[in-house]
Amino acid sequence: MFKNLATGLAFSALATAGLAAQTVSEIDVSVDLPAIENSEAAQVWTSLGTDLETAIAERIAPQLGEDGSEVVVDINEVALASAFENAYALDNSTLAGLVEIREPGLLNNEAYELSITAGQAMSAASPEVDLANMTIASAELYRAMIDAFADNIAQKLK
């Protein structure tokens, strides 16, 4: 009887461990911002890498620790540059990049393309936000796109 109980507890512990959120030891966001011709957008988007790293870390704070996964994000500069060129065409504005979750061990890594459009990011905007006058240089749009991108990554890590 004790043997069956011990076996049951061991399986239960393994199942619980599989459901636990991943520990993350490093978050690295790389952005090579091209020469941004839209000076208003340049003022808002210059700290994209740092701001995105911070947003991800805030959402997974209890999961941060040593000997965990690495979250590596490489922002697609072409999509970002295109968004800057179309400063008033928010429908085409996209924050996109390759997200890699590198776990210890060779076979545990995961990679996926993540793309957030301005419309998706602003869908949760408060009614006070005037979307008609929004541009790619708007601080509200910048924050909404960072938040939506970070939310998606945090969900993958839980």
| Tens place of pLDDT per residue across the chain (158 aa) | 334 433 343 333 333 344 457 899 999 999 877 645 666 777 788 899 999 999 999 999 999 999 899 999 998 866 776 666 665 667 667 888 999 999 887 778 999 999 998 888 888 666 677 767 777 788 888 899 999 999 999 999 98
Token couple for 20: 């636990």
Chain mean position to CA 51 = 10
Q: What is the pTM of this model?
A: 0.79
DSSP H stretches of helix in the chain: 2-19, 39-45, 48-59, 77-85, 118-122, 139-156
User: What is the residue extent of each domain of the chain?
Assistant: 21-156
Task: Please state which CATH number belongs to domain 21-156.
Answer: 3.40.50
Q: Which among 90, 92, 95 is positioned nearest to 133, based on CA atoms?
A: 90
The CA-based dihedral angle spanning residues 130, 134, 138, 141, taken in that order and rounded to the nearest 10 degrees: 80
